[in-house]
C-alpha cells in the first residue's frame, strides 16, 4: 500500500493528464473562437490548477514552467493581449512540454530543458513590455492564487459625496456591478436625507452598507469604485476570509459589529449589554443607533453565519464527492472476478437443472439474475466516452494539415458515446492511421480543391454512435475518394488479383488492406509506405470489430468501424460438434436451419444451401476442425451476417444462448486464424470463440490457393 | 419615455391629494416633482402618490420620494402609495438596497411604507 503522499502524487499525475487534455481541446477551440472569454478562462484555469497543485506536491519544475504560460494567459484574460496563432502554437508546445515533464516524473525519458527554455522565451517575447519586466516568484503566485478560489466576505461602506450624480456617476450602476461579484446584501441608509424644503434635488444623500461574499478578491471590489475614488468615502473590510473551516458557524455579536463599523462606541455598548433586553431594540428605542444601521449589522451577521454554515456543510460533501477515482487495474480485477462468477453461475444452473430440485433451481435463477445485474454494472463502470480520444485528433489534424499545406477542419459528433476503456485505448492507433490517411491521401491541396469547385477547406468528420452491442465509428472526408483504377492496377501488379478478375467496388477497396499495399506516388513522412491499412485491419479485428470502406470519386471516402462495446463478456450462441463446443457472437447470427444428407447430395458436394430462395454458401466446421466422428444425419447451419454477406457455419447441434466470459488464448495459439479466444462452460468444458470473419477469409484463401 | 409627467388632483371629498407620476423620475426631472410636493402638500392632510406609470427611477428620484414621505410623516400627515410599481422601478429599488427590508425611523421603525409596504 502506498503512502498518502504517494497516492496524492499519483492523483496529481492523473488529474494533470486530464487537465492537459482539456487544455489542448480548449486551445484548439480558441483558435476557432479567439474572443471566447470562457475558453480563455478555461485555458487559464487548467494551467493555474496544474501549477498550483504541482507546487503543492513537489513538481516544482512543472509549476515554474506552467507559471510562465499562465502569466501570458493572464494578460489575455485581462484583455491586454490578443489570442494569436503564435501564442496558440507556443502554448500547445508548452502543453506538450508539460506532458513530457509529467511523464519524466513518473520514470519516463527526461524532458528537454532547452526546448522548455525556448518555449518560455518565445512566450516572454509575446508579452507586453510592462509585464515582461515585472516578474513575481512562482511561490508567491501559487500562494496568492490558492486563496483566490475561496469565497471571502467583505463589508463595504460606500458613502458618495452629495454631488456625485452631477459628475455623471450613477451609484445604482456601481451597486449593480458590485452585486454581480457574488452574494450581496445591500442596505441603504436614508437618515441623511433632508426634509423636502432643505433637499437639493440633484444631490445624493443616501449611503450604503454592502455585505459581499465573493471569490473575486478585494481588487475586483476596488475596481468597481475606481472612477469614484475621489468622490466617495469608501471603506472595505474583510470580515470572513473563507479559509477557516470552523464547526461553529457563529459570527460576531451585533454590538461588536456596530462598534467595529464605528456606528456605536464601546462605552455605549457595555451600557446596553447590562440591560436585560434585545440589544438592537434598545439601541433603536434609545435613539443611539438608527434602525437602518442596526438592520444593516444584522444583515451582515446573518450573511456571515449563512456563508459559514454552507461552508461547514459543503466541506464534507465535497470530500465525499460525487465520484471517486479508482485505479484501472482494480476495475480490471473486478471484471475478472465477475467473469469467474458468471462461469460458476453457469455451473450452478447446470447442476440445479440436473438435480431437478425446485428449491435449488429457484436459488440458481435468483443468483443468475443478480449476477447478470452485477455484470452489467461492472462493465458499465469501465465505460468511458470516446470523446477523450476524439479531442486528441483535433491536434493531429491541425498539425498535420499545416505540415502538408492543406486546410482541414475536423468535425466530431457522438463524443459522448461510451465504450469499454480497453477498447478505447486500442482504438487510438487505428484511428490515427485512418485520419492520417484521410488528410494525406483524401483531402486535396487547396489549389486542386479550388479547381474542382470545392471549398478550399477540407473536412474530416469523425463520428461515433451506438448500434446494438457495438459502436459505429466513422471517418468521412470530402476529399478525392479512392482511385479504383489505380488500386486495381496495383493489385494486379502485386499479384493480389488477376487482370481478368471481376471485382465489385468493395472488393477493389478491400485490396488496400493487403500487407504493404500502397498507391501513393511519393512517400511522405505521413504515409505512403504501405504500412498502415493492414495493421489497422488487424487491430480492428483484434477488437472483434470490422472495417468497411465506401468511396465516391471526387466526393470523398467513408470508413466505418464496427467495434464491440466490451472485450470482457459477450452474448454468444453455443454450438456443438461431436464433443467440442464453440461459441459465435450472437449479434451476427441471423437464423438456424437444418442440413440433411439429402440436401448435401442435392448440391452435388458444393457448400451451398437454398435458404428462402437464395443460395447461401456455408462452411462445415467439422471439416475445418477435422472432426470426423459421430457425424449426425441432420446437421444445423447457423447463418451469420459477416461483413454484409450471409454465410452459414455447419454444426451438429445448436445448444443455445450463452454469456461468454472471454479468455485469451496462450501465445502458442496467437496466430490461429478464425479463433479469437476461449471460454469456460458451466461444467468446466472449454469452448472456443469463433471469429466468423477471419474463418470465412481463411477458407476463401485456402480455396484460392487450391483452385487459383 | 424621457419626460416626467405629474398630475395632481384632490379626491372628490377633498380629503386626499392624489399625485400620479409617470415617465422618468431622475436627476434631470426630480426638481419638478419636488416643487409640486412643496407647493401642494398643504392642500390636504392625506397624500397619495401613484408610481404605477413610472418607467425610470434613479437614486435622486428614490430619495425625493423618501424625503417627501419623511417630511409628511413628520408633519403628522398621512402619506401613502397606490398602484403597483413597474418592473424597472422595482428593480431600481431592489438594487438601491431598499428591497422591503428597511425599517423606517419616521414610520415607527416599521418597514418602509413604500418599498416594504403595499407595493
The domain defined by B4-118 folds into Transcription Regulator spoIIAA (3.30.750)
Q: State how far the Cα of A364 lies from the Cα of A350, in Å rounded to an integer.
A: 9
pLDDT of residue A142: 42
Annotate A372-408 with DSSP letters as a single string: HHHHHHHHHHTEEETHHHHHHHHHHHHHHHHHHT--E
Residues listed for chain B: 119
pLDDT of residue A2: 60
pLDDT digits (tens, 9 = 90+) for A600-627: 888 887 888 888 888 889 999 998 889 9
Does residue A192 share a domain with residue A52?
no
pLDDT of residue A648: 93
pLDDT of residue A15: 83
Least Cα separation, residue A301 to chain B (angstroms): 15
Q: State how far the Cα of A544 lies from the Cα of A187, in Å rounded to an integer.
A: 68
pLDDT of residue A158: 92
Interface A–B counts its CB contacts (< 8 A) at 94
| Pick from B64, B67, B103: CB nearest A292 | B103
What CATH number is attached to the domain comprising A689? Answer: 2.30.30.40
Banded pLDDT at A641 (limits 50, 70, 90): confident
Least Cα separation, residue A176 to chain B (angstroms): 6
Parent domain of A481: 384-564
pLDDT digits (tens, 9 = 90+) for A29-70: 888 888 888 888 888 888 888 887 787 777 888 888 888 888
Beta bridge pairs of residue A645? A642
Does residue A231 share a domain with residue A125?
no
Most confident listed range (A1-5, A206-210, A323-327, A675-679): A206-210
At residue A412, the 3 state secondary structure works out as: strand
Do A295 and B101 lie within an 8 Å CB cutoff?
Answer: yes
| Pick from A201, A203, A208: CB nearest B97 | A208
Q: Give me the interface pTM, i.e. the ipTM.
A: 0.91
Does residue A406 share a domain with residue A528?
yes
Which residues of chain B are modeled with pLDDT < 70? Answer: 1-2, 99-103, 107-111, 113-119
Least Cα separation, residue A308 to chain B (angstroms): 22
pLDDT digits (tens, 9 = 90+) for A217-276: 788 888 888 878 888 899 998 888 776 555 455 677 777 888 888 888 877 777 777 665
Banded pLDDT at A143 (limits 50, 70, 90): very low
Does residue A686 share a domain with residue A676?
yes
Name the nearest CA neighbour of A479 among A521, A444, A518, A527: A444
What CATH number is attached to the domain comprising A405? Answer: 3.30.565.10
Which tops the pLDDT comparison, A541 or B112?
A541
- Residue A521, pLDDT above cutoff 70: no
Residue A482 placed within a domain: yes
Domain edges within chain B: 4-118
- Residue A698, pLDDT above cutoff 70: yes
Does residue A456 share a domain with residue A341?
no
- Rg for chain A, CA atoms, rounded: 36
What CATH number is attached to the domain comprising A80? Answer: 1.20.120.160
Q: State how far the Cα of A296 lies from the Cα of B101, in Å rounded to an integer.
A: 10
DSSP class of residue A663 equals B
Does residue A394 share a domain with residue A539?
yes
Least Cα separation, residue B113 to chain A (angstroms): 14
- Residue A530, pLDDT above cutoff 50: no
Residue A518: partners with Cβ closer than 8 Å, 6 or more residues away = A490, A527, A528, A529, A530
Residues of chain A above pLDDT 70, percent: 88
- Residue A490, pLDDT above cutoff 80: yes
Do A202 and B37 lie within an 8 Å CB cutoff?
Answer: no
- Residue A322, pLDDT above cutoff 70: no
Residue A694: partners with Cβ closer than 8 Å, 6 or more residues away = A541, A673, A674, A676
First and final CA of chain B: distance in angstroms?
22
Mean pLDDT of chain A: 82
| Among A544, A564, A584, residue at a domain's last position | A564
Does residue A368 share a domain with residue A222?
no
CB B46 within 8 A of CB B78: yes
pLDDT of residue A342: 87
First and final CA of chain A: distance in angstroms?
62
CB A445 within 8 A of CB A405: yes
Does residue A294 share a domain with residue A176?
yes
- Residue A529, pLDDT above cutoff 50: no
Do A201 and B34 lie within an 8 Å CB cutoff?
Answer: yes
Banded pLDDT at A650 (limits 50, 70, 90): very high
pLDDT of residue A687: 92
Q: State how far the Cα of A184 lies from the Cα of A634, in Å rounded to an integer.
A: 84
Banded pLDDT at A145 (limits 50, 70, 90): very low
- Residue A531, pLDDT above cutoff 60: no
The owner of cell 431437478 is A356
Banded pLDDT at A313 (limits 50, 70, 90): low
Q: State how far the Cα of A467 lies from the Cα of A588, in Å rounded to an integer.
A: 13
- Residue A683, pLDDT above cutoff 50: yes
Burial per residue of A568-603, b for 16 or more beta-carbon CB atoms within 10 angstroms, e otherwise: bbbebbbbbbbebbbbbbbbbbeeebebeeebbeee
Q: State how far the Cα of A380 lies from the Cα of A184, in Å rounded to an integer.
A: 44
Residue A329 placed within a domain: no
Does residue A453 share a domain with residue A403?
yes
Suggest the residue from B97, B99, B105, B113 to mutate for an interface test with chain A (most A CBs closer than 10 A): B97
Residue A96 placed within a domain: yes
At residue A155, the 3 state secondary structure works out as: strand
Q: Alpha carbon A136 to chain centroid distance?
A: 34
Name the nearest CA neighbour of B96 among A206, A205, A224, A230: A206
Chain B contact set for A291 (CB, 8 A) = 103-105, 109
Chain A contact set for B59 (CB, 8 A) = 165, 170-172, 204, 206
pLDDT digits (tens, 9 = 90+) for A354-365: 888 888 888 999
pLDDT digits (tens, 9 = 90+) for A420-456: 888 888 888 889 889 988 998 889 999 999 999 999 9
Does residue A195 share a domain with residue A66?
no
Domain count, chain A: 5
pLDDT digits (tens, 9 = 90+) for A398-420: 888 888 889 899 898 888 888 88
Does residue A286 share a domain with residue A435?
no
Residue A134: partners with Cβ closer than 8 Å, 6 or more residues away = none
Least Cα separation, residue B44 to chain A (angstroms): 16
The chain B residue lying nearest A287, using CA atoms, is B105
| Pick from B38, B58, B97: CB nearest A196 | B38
Residue A327 placed within a domain: no
Do B63 and A210 lie within an 8 Å CB cutoff?
Answer: no
Name the nearest CA neighbour of B19 among B4, B28, B70, A577: B4
Task: Please compute the mean of the pLDDT values over residues A658-672 and round it to a whole number.
Answer: 78
- Residue A321: Cβ-neighbour burial (10 angstroms; 0-12, 13-18, 19+): exposed
DSSP class of residue A664 equals P
Q: State how far the Cα of A402 lies from the Cα of A409, in Å rounded to an integer.
A: 11
Do B97 and A292 lie within an 8 Å CB cutoff?
Answer: no
Name the nearest CA neighbour of A573 among A498, A508, A639: A639
| Pick from B68, B92, B102: CB nearest A295 | B102
- Residue A390, pLDDT above cutoff 50: yes
| Residue A353, all three cell numbers | 437443472
Residue A347 placed within a domain: yes
pLDDT digits (tens, 9 = 90+) for A106-116: 888 888 888 88
DSSP class of residue A109 equals P
Suggest the residue from A160, A164, A185, A199 to mutate for an interface test with chain B (most B CBs closer than 10 A): A199
- Residue A638, pLDDT above cutoff 90: yes
pLDDT digits (tens, 9 = 90+) for A543-601: 878 888 989 988 999 999 988 777 777 888 999 999 999 999 888 899 999 998 888 88
Phi, psi of A286 (to 5 degrees): -85, 0
Do B67 and A208 lie within an 8 Å CB cutoff?
Answer: no
- Residue A139, pLDDT above cutoff 50: no
Does residue A139 share a domain with residue A14?
yes
Amino acid at each position: 500500500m502506498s503512502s498518502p503522499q504517494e497516492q496524492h502524487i499519483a492523483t496529481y499525475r492523473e488529474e494533470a493528464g486530464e487537465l492537459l487534455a482539456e487544455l489542448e481541446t480548449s486551445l484548439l477551440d480558441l483558435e476557432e473562437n479567439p474572443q471566447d472569454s470562457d475558453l480563455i478562462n478555461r485555458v487559464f484555469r487548467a494551467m493555474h490548477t496544474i501549477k498550483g497543485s504541482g507546487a503543492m506536491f513537489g513538481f516544482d519544475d512543472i509549476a515554474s514552467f506552467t507559471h510562465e504560460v499562465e502569466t501570458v494567459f493572464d494578460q489575455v484574460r485581462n484583455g491586454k493581449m490578443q489570442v494569436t496563432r503564435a501564442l496558440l502554437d507556443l502554448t500547445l508546445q508548452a502543453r506538450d512540454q508539460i506532458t513530457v515533464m509529467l511523464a519524466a516524473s513518473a520514470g519516463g525519458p527526461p524532458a528537454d530543458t532547452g526546448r522548455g527554455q525556448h518555449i518560455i522565451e518565445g512566450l516572454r517575447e509575446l508579452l507586453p513590455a510592462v509585464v515582461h519586466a515585472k516578474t513575481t516568484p512562482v511561490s508567491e503566485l501559487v500562494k496568492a492564487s490558492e486563496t483566490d478560489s475561496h469565497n471571502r466576505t467583505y463589508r463595504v461602506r460606500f458613502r458618495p459625496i452629495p454631488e456625485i450624480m452631477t459628475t455623471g456617476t450613477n451609484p445604482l450602476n456601481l451597486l449593480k456591478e458590485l452585486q454581480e461579484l457574488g452574494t450581496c446584501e445591500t442596505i441603504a441608509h436614508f437618515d441623511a436625507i433632508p426634509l423636502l424644503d432643505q433637499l437639493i434635488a440633484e444631490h445624493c444623500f443616501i449611503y450604503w452598507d454592502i455585505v459581499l461574499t465573493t471569490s473575486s478578491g478585494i481588487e475586483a471590489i476596488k475596481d468597481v469604485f475606481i472612477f469614484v475614488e475621489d468622490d466617495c468615502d469608501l471603506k472595505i473590510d474583510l470580515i470572513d476570509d473563507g479559509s477557516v473551516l470552523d464547526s461553529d458557524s457563529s459570527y460576531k455579536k451585533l454590538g461588536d459589529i456596530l462598534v467595529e463599523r464605528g456606528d456605536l462606541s464601546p462605552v455605549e455598548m457595555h451600557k446596553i449589554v447590562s440591560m436585560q433586553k434585545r440589544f438592537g431594540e434598545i439601541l433603536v428605542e434609545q435613539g443611539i443607533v438608527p434602525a437602518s444601521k442596526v438592520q444593516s449589522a444584522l444583515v451582515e451577521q446573518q450573511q456571515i453565519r449563512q456563508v459559514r454554515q454552507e461552508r461547514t456543510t459543503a466541506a464534507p460533501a465535497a470530500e465525499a464527492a460525487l465520484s471517486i477515482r479508482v485505479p484501472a487495474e482494480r476495475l480490471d480485477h473486478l471484471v475478472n472476478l465477475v467473469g469467474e462468477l458468471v462461469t460458476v453461475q453457469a455451473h450452478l444452473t447446470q447442476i440445479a437443472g440436473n438435480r431437478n430440485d425446485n428449491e435449488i433451481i429457484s436459488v440458481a435463477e435468483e443468483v443468475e439474475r443478480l449476477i447478470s445485474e452485477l455484470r452489467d454494472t461492472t462493465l458499465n463502470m469501465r465505460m468511458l466516452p470516446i470523446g477523450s480520444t476524439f479531442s486528441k485528433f483535433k491536434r493531429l489534424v491541425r498539425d498535420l494539415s499545416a505540415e502538408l499545406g492543406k486546410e482541414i477542419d475536423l468535425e466530431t459528433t457522438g463524443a459522448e458515446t461510451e465504450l469499454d476503456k480497453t477498447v478505447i485505448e486500442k482504438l487510438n492507433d487505428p484511428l490515427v492511421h485512418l485520419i492520417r490517411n484521410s488528410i494525406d491521401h483524401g483531402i486535396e491541396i487547396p489549389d486542386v480543391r479550388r479547381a474542382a469547385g470545392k471549398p478550399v477547406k477540407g473536412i474530416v468528420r469523425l463520428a461515433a454512435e451506438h448500434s446494438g452491442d457495438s459502436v459505429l465509428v466513422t471517418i468521412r472526408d470530402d476529399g478525392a475518394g479512392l482511385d479504383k483504377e489505380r488500386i486495381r492496377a496495383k493489385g494486379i501488379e502485386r499479384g493480389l488479383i488477376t487482370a481478368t478478375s471481376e471485382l465489385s467496388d468493395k472488393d477493389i477497396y478491400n485490396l488496400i488492406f493487403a500487407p504493404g499495399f500502397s498507391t501513393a506516388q511519393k512517400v511522405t513522412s505521413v504515409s505512403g509506405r504501405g504500412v498502415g491499412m493492414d495493421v489497422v485491419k488487424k487491430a480492428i479485428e483484434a477488437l472483434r470489430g470490422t472495417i468497411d470502406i465506401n468511396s465516391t470519386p471526387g466526393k470523398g471516402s467513408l470508413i466505418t468501424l464496427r467495434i464491440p462495446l466490451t472485450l470482457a463478456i459477450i452474448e454468444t450462441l453455443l454450438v456443438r460438434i461431436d464433443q467440442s463446443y464453440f461459441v459465435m457472437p450472437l449479434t451476427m447470427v441471423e437464423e438456424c436451419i437444418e442440413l440433411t444428407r439429402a440436401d448435401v447430395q442435392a448440391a452435388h458436394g458444393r457448400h451451398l444451401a437454398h435458404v428462402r430462395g437464395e443460395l447461401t454458401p456455408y462452411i462445415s466446421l467439422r471439416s475445418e476442425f477435422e472432426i470426423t466422428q459421430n457425424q449426425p444425419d441432420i446437421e444445423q447451419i447457423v447463418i451469420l451476417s459477416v461483413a454484409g454477406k450471409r454465410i452459414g457455419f455447419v454444426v451438429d447441434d445448436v445448444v443455445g444462448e450463452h454469456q461468454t466470459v472471454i479468455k485469451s488464448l496462450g501465445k502458442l495459439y496467437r496466430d490461429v486464424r478464425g479463433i479469437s479466444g476461449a471460454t469456460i462452460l458451466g461444467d468446466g468444458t472449454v469452448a472456443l470463440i469463433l471469429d466468423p470473419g477471419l474463418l470465412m477469409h481463411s477458407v476463401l484463401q485456402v480455396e484460392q490457393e487450391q483452385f487459383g | 419615455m424621457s419626460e416626467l409627467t405629474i398630475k395632481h388632483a384632490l379626491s372628490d371629498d377633498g380629503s386626499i391629494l392624489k399625485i400620479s407620476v409617470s415617465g422618468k423620475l431622475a436627476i434631470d426631472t426630480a426638481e419638478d416633482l419636488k416643487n409640486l410636493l412643496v407647493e401642494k402638500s398643504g392642500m390636504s392632510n392625506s397624500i397619495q402618490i401613484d408610481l404605477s406609470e413610472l418607467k425610470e427611477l434613479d437614486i435622486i428620484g428614490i430619495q425625493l420620494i423618501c424625503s417627501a414621505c419623511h417630511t409628511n410623516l413628520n408633519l403628522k400627515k398621512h402619506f401613502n402609495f397606490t398602484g403597483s410599481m413597474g418592473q424597472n422601478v422595482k428593480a431600481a429599488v431592489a438594487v438601491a438596497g431598499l428591497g422591503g427590508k428597511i425599517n423606517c425611523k419616521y414610520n415607527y421603525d416599521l418597514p418602509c411604507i413604500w418599498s416594504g409596504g403595499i407595493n
